[in-house]
Structure 1
């Protein structure tokens, strides 16, 4: 029997959120009740999104996998580029190993997967040059035909990269892909809550609502 793994990252969700608000989160509460809840996790350093998510899929520390920050060291640029591209990861990832074993993979806004060898990939990336735009940048970094297909199906849900519309689009695309394509490994990164905490504060009402 084929086995399937789905990894869902709710960016910036912490232990305090689950401890204080699990009664408002019925799906997560069901997972806690029926599965295993690890209450203490030691994060990597630096404990920010891109190094952390790369450690999750490589099992190594940032000093080993090479993703040591969200952005590159580009002091000459007002807006430096990010570690968007999978080529910057210095060790094999779980999706590399899955591909080598003949398994199918999918990823939805998972950090540092632009240009990755993933069967169905919508990479997290944004245009960082005045002559580029979101559409062409995303198509080049992702699985282009797959992204176009998802946009035709669910594009009405999103408004560029604005939240929470982007998470709604990603969730619909991921669900559709899991049902129709049945990838052996699916990586999903949802960022609405993280977006609100950056903009309004960690304990803001907007973050709580998200």
Structure 2
């Protein structure tokens, strides 16, 4: 049996529904499909991927955003420049399934994988070529190394969403292109095959950047503002009261959590900021000139597709599965159950 986990990076549910996905549509009727699956907050790349490949909350795996302030060496660690696999604090599926031959293709979290094609390598090529290269690399690894478990991250979807926005035809076409790649992988593999398809986060339209650091500098407040697109960890240097007062007056801010309150959203960790905030609709904290983004608490960022397709193997689903609410935390225990791994993991999610 081969189990492949496909992540349509940054695939919003409404955009997925609008896109042409004939392959998935034709098979998901016989399998499993839910548009009632939630990811974790912040809805940022490294946080979302870490939860999917470990089956744990950010408070456990420690990937509390795309960057954090490391109190040990007093440095900012952004995972675009530091290897996230060196900082994740719980076991990955690659480690749990170490008896199988595994691969990670354009997956940011590669700890324990036997064969990898990294995001660093992928980002060297133009956006329009990325998902096709991911497809080609995946096929080569599957053919050459007898892979039994793999995570394939179609990162180009996220790039198109951020560049053009969640309603743009180019973004929808990229989702459709990935549907075509999935169909080709399905056709080529003759073995028993399980395909699980989900996303690390959704995507929402943004119209402008709000620069938190510049705003607070003008107010005479100096702190570390470490954004993950539409979320931000604030390391406040004991300026909590002043900062909270300012944040409460800003129309750009949606939610505000003190560190003690992050226990309620499973984000409480040594690395978590003294204050955590999310942006209001239409606002981006981190980057200029984006048309789509994520990281925040809006429905279109939090809810993602969850689809299971099988070939030459019959999976059983509970009779009420279509009415249930799911989480990306459920992906890892589902994979472990399918692979018949009897592991004592105490994962917070449930097998589907």
State the TM-score, normalized to the length of structure 1.
0.72
Q: Which structure shows the bigger proportion of residues in strand conformation? A: 2
Q: Describe the SS at the equivalent of 2:141.
A: helix
Q: Describe the SS at the equivalent of 1:40.
A: strand
Match 1:119 to one of 107, 114, 117? 114
Instruction: Answer whether contact 1:9 1:188 (CA < 8 A) is retained.
Output: yes
> Is the alpha carbon distance of 1:124 and 1:97 closer, same or farther for their aligned partners in structure 2, counting shifts above 3 Å?
same
Q: Distance in 2 between matches of 1:12 and 1:103?
A: 28
Q: Distance in 1 between matches of 2:83 and 2:172?
A: 28
Q: In the TM superposition, what are the counterparts of 1:177-188 in structure 2 within 5 Å?
A: 177-188=141-152
C-alpha deviation, 1:94, in angstroms? 0.8
More contact order relative to length (CA 8 Å, sep ≥ 6) = 2
Match 1:51 to one of 47, 52, 59? 47
> Is the alpha carbon distance of 1:80 and 1:177 closer, same or farther for their aligned partners in structure 2, counting shifts above 3 Å?
closer
Instruction: Answer whether contact 2:15 2:166 (CA < 8 A) is retained.
Output: no
Q: Distance in 2 between matches of 1:180 and 1:160?
A: 24
Q: Who is 1:110 aligned against?
A: 107
> Is the alpha carbon distance of 1:18 and 1:204 closer, same or farther for their aligned partners in structure 2, counting shifts above 3 Å?
closer
RMSD: 2.4
Q: Distance in 2 between matches of 1:46 and 1:35?
A: 30
Q: Which structure shows the bigger proportion of residues in helix conformation? A: 1
Structure 2: gaps (5+ residues): 175-352
Runs of 4+ in 1 over 4 A off after TM superposition: 74-77
Q: Describe the SS at the equivalent of 2:28.
A: helix
Q: Distance in 2 between matches of 1:80 and 1:187?
A: 23
Q: Who is 2:91 aligned against?
A: 92
> Is the alpha carbon distance of 1:159 and 1:80 closer, same or farther for their aligned partners in structure 2, counting shifts above 3 Å?
closer
Q: Distance in 2 between matches of 1:4 and 1:47?
A: 29
1:69 aligns with 2:65: yes
Q: Who is 1:5 aligned against?
A: 3
The number of equivalent residue pairs is 170
Q: Who is 1:203 aligned against?
A: 167
Q: Distance in 1 between matches of 2:3 and 2:56?
A: 20
Q: Who is 1:160 aligned against?
A: 124
C-alpha deviation, 1:4, in angstroms? 1.8
C-alpha deviation, 1:14, in angstroms? 2.3
Q: In terms of Rg, which structure is larger?
A: 2
